[in-house]
Chains A and B, each alone.
Chain A
Amino acid sequence: MTRKTAIINARIVGRAETALLIEGDRIAHLGDAPLPADAELIDAKGAMLAPALIDLGVFAVDKAACIAGGIARIALMPDQNPVLDEPGIVQRAALAAKPDLWVHPLAAATRGLKGQELAELALMQRAGAKAVSTGRGWIADSGVMAKLLIYAASLKLTVISHAEDGGLTAGAVATSGETATRNGLPAAPAMAEAMALARDLALVRDTGARLHVRQITTGAALDLIRQAKRAGLPVTCGVAPTHWLLTDIALSDFRTFTRLSPPLRSEADRQAVLAAIADGTIDVLTSSHDPRGPEAKRLPFVDAEPGAAGAETLLPLALGLVRDGVLSMDQLFEKLATNPARILGLDAGVLAEGAPADLVLFNPDTPWQIRRPDLKGLASNTPFDGLPVQGRVLQTIKGGQTLA
């Protein structure tokens, strides 16, 4: 017999109803119709119910962090050890976190992510890859990028790219500017992002391939995205909370948790990111979760690896956008769930009858403080240690099952 669960007294994002019925792993009914007697009851007591987050572009399978953050699905970057560049490796990665978390592996665009030879994209697609990714790096060879886009388009695979011109950013750990100059950090100009993006957009125009840029962090590059969308190009982009909340001033005390890729930018760029979130230029909000232990972070700034842990803090930090009037609650979950699902071609990310019962129940107002020792993930390298936030996940539900 199918298991039935009814969630009642919930404020359902984007809906007027207050109850939802789950049958098996799907949403059976939205609304206050009489609930079946055999349904297990969850009384939300006025908490909010939304589609569980779909995190597009994370670097580790971190179940505990995802459950704590209301994330039911991750798109896993191919920068793993071993690199996700073979069907067998992709298939294994897709099973890595069953049954608690959906892992959608992103196939490495090139063998070993070296940017030279195309990897077996169709075989990896058959093995479960939902999109193709260039990984942490940019493909420097325009010929390779052009072939990648044409080939991926023929397979109807979206290419997820990283926009930083490798020639300009070689050796750099910061964005050129006052902070990098004062701290004596090797830096690259912010326009490295727009330069890389401009080339890739030209190739998209020529090939018709679908391109998603995992993170766009500068005003100049966002303007290019805006123009490309206006011209009808199939382009989308995302950003992480680090880049709408912090600027390169955070690097002043050499704290390696602020060593990111792309690096933190200027205040003008941060404002441009906020404007682009508000006007829809940015489609996806991602945690860019990259848990790193002391062996990668307790080093001099230039020697530390880039990346920040973010899965547990994505929702509370993103709720700040609603409180600040940047987005409505509906728009927020489009960027946290609906759009990522659409880009990956997943049947998920919406609250509708028949959709997978991947849900997050949360209280948007609960105040708490981000404290490193309290984080549940693989590592606590958050640049937001000590920050007071609002919004706490009460339950993460995947396929109708409440996760611990």
Chain B
Amino acid sequence: MTSPLFPHRHLLGIAGLQPHEISYLLDEAEQWVTLNRSLTKHDSRLRGLTQINAFFENSTRTLLSFEIAGKRLGADVVNMHAAQSSVKKGETLIDTAITLNAMKPDVIVIRHAGSGAVALIADKVDCPVLNAGDGRHEHPTQALLDALTIRRRKGHVQGLKVAICGDVLHSRVARSNILALTSLGAEVRVVAPATLLPDSLESLHVTPFTDMDDGIADCDVVMMLRLQTERMEGGFVPSLREYHMLYGLTYERLKRAKPDALVMHPGPMNRGVEIASDVADDVNRSVIAEQVEMGSRCAWPVLTC
């Protein structure tokens, strides 16, 4: 990384990026649309370079996005899954980072369950580090791909009303999206059960809502979050059906938003919990598949700049 237009060694989060830098990454990503949709789909920009995808937490779409983007750009891509690595044998994260560094990679893409873990590794290695999600902290490429999806559909982000709905407390996607979309000039609302709303949200320049109907009223974009059932052991919501009644996105509820409002979801979806299947599958409203396509697109500029 580090081009004059993007003077950052690592991409650890949206925090710290200037609005024009976010726009620059989106513009770059836009260029890859044509290549990605063409027959050959290949470029040699990263030929001879080694990219390690170190995923300490499971992932399907983010890992595939980075792997495919790296390969289409000509890099030698290696995936490290924590489940089959020395992490299972008790190696500390720092030792793993030093080991990875000793392999002399040119870029490391990291996902980890601990907030701040990616920054910790970035401190210890000699190559650029891309954050593919750290705990509840940030998931910057998800925010970039969401912003790109919105921009392609709506033509701009500035001035749009965006509602981010669901388990905001545990969501790195929500944090990165709040930062990216407010930075690009959108009016962002956050809708969640009171038990899943983090403290001091006003300081992030968003408006919190606990009533979904009020929260999505008149919105241009309704962005649903996965209800992280694996993190629900503390009992933040009484039951999935109650959650669905209050916060599930149904056609009935979607009528509150603008008639052309986009429906987004970072995946994987809990159908029938946070989103009804017919809404998720409506090609006229849902851009969920397009978000995945933009995912590999957004991996490209961050790998190349």
| CB neighbors of A among B72-104 (8 A) | 92-94
B116:A301 contact, CB within 8 angstroms? yes
| Across-interface contacts of B112 in A (CB, < 8 A) | 300
Q: Is B185 an interface residue (CB 8 A)?
A: no
A181:B115 contact, CB within 8 angstroms? no
| Residue in B94, B204, B234 whose beta carbon sits within 8 Å of that of A182 in the complex | B204
Q: Which residue of B lies closest to A254 (CB)?
A: B116
| Across-interface contacts of A180 in B (CB, < 8 A) | 198-199
Q: Is B203 an interface residue (CB 8 A)?
A: yes
Q: A184-B136, A298-B92, A301-B115 are in contact. Are A254 and B120 (CB under 8 A)?
A: yes
Q: Which residue of A lies closest to B116 (CB)?
A: A254
CB distance from A282 to the nearest CB of B (A): 26
Q: Is A189 an interface residue (CB 8 A)?
A: yes
A181:B204 contact, CB within 8 angstroms? yes
Q: Which residue of A lies closest to B203 (CB)?
A: A178
| Across-interface contacts of B68 in A (CB, < 8 A) | none
A302:B92 contact, CB within 8 angstroms? no
Q: Is A295 an interface residue (CB 8 A)?
A: yes
| Across-interface contacts of A177 in B (CB, < 8 A) | 199-200
Q: Is B15 an interface residue (CB 8 A)?
A: yes
CB distance from B91 to the nearest CB of A (A): 12
A302:B114 contact, CB within 8 angstroms? yes
A303:B200 contact, CB within 8 angstroms? no
| Across-interface contacts of B203 in A (CB, < 8 A) | 178, 181
A185:B119 contact, CB within 8 angstroms? no
| Residue in B15, B115, B198 whose beta carbon sits within 8 Å of that of A300 in the complex | B115
Count of chain B residues near A, Cβ 8 A: 25
B93:A300 contact, CB within 8 angstroms? yes
Of A178, A182, A186, A294, most buried by chain B (CB within 10 Å of CB) is A182
A189:B199 contact, CB within 8 angstroms? yes
B198:A254 contact, CB within 8 angstroms? no
14 intermolecular pairs with C-beta atoms under 8 Å apart: A177-B200, A183-B115, A185-B136, A187-B198, A187-B199, A298-B94, A299-B120, A300-B93, A300-B117, A300-B135, A301-B116, A302-B116, A302-B135, A303-B114
CB distance from A257 to the nearest CB of B (A): 13
- Complex CA–CA separation, A40 to B194 (angstroms): 70
| Across-interface contacts of A185 in B (CB, < 8 A) | 115-116, 136-137
Q: Which residue of A lies closest to B198 (CB)?
A: A181
B204:A254 contact, CB within 8 angstroms? no
Q: A177-B200, A178-B200 are in contact. Are A295 and B92 (CB under 8 A)?
A: yes
Chain B 211-241 interface 0/1 with A at a Cβ cutoff of 8 Å (1 = within): 0000000000000000000000010000000
- Complex CA–CA separation, A301 to B117 (angstroms): 7
| Across-interface contacts of A134 in B (CB, < 8 A) | none
CB distance from A188 to the nearest CB of B (A): 10
Of B92, B135, B175, most buried by chain A (CB within 10 Å of CB) is B135
Q: A253-B119, A301-B114, A301-B115 are in contact. Are A184 and B200 (CB under 8 A)?
A: no
| CB neighbors of B among A283-302 (8 A) | 294-295, 298-302
- Complex CA–CA separation, A50 to B52 (angstroms): 59
Of A181, A184, A253, A254, most buried by chain B (CB within 10 Å of CB) is A184
- Complex CA–CA separation, A171 to B231 (angstroms): 12
Q: A300-B112, A300-B120, A302-B135 are in contact. Are A181 and B199 (CB under 8 A)?
A: yes
| Residue in B93, B135, B172, B234 whose beta carbon sits within 8 Å of that of A299 in the complex | B93
- Complex CA–CA separation, A181 to B137 (angstroms): 8
Q: Is A5 an interface residue (CB 8 A)?
A: no
| Across-interface contacts of B175 in A (CB, < 8 A) | 181-182, 184
B135:A181 contact, CB within 8 angstroms? no
Of A186, A189, A300, most buried by chain B (CB within 10 Å of CB) is A300
Chain A 148-174 interface 0/1 with B at a Cβ cutoff of 8 Å (1 = within): 000000000000000000000001000
A181:B201 contact, CB within 8 angstroms? yes
| Across-interface contacts of A313 in B (CB, < 8 A) | none
CB distance from B276 to the nearest CB of A (A): 29
Q: Is B146 an interface residue (CB 8 A)?
A: no
The 6 closest A-B pairs by CB, nearest first: A300-B114, A184-B136, A254-B116, A184-B137, A300-B117, A176-B199
- Complex CA–CA separation, A294 to B15 (angstroms): 28
A183:B92 contact, CB within 8 angstroms? no
- Complex CA–CA separation, A189 to B94 (angstroms): 31
Q: Is B167 an interface residue (CB 8 A)?
A: no
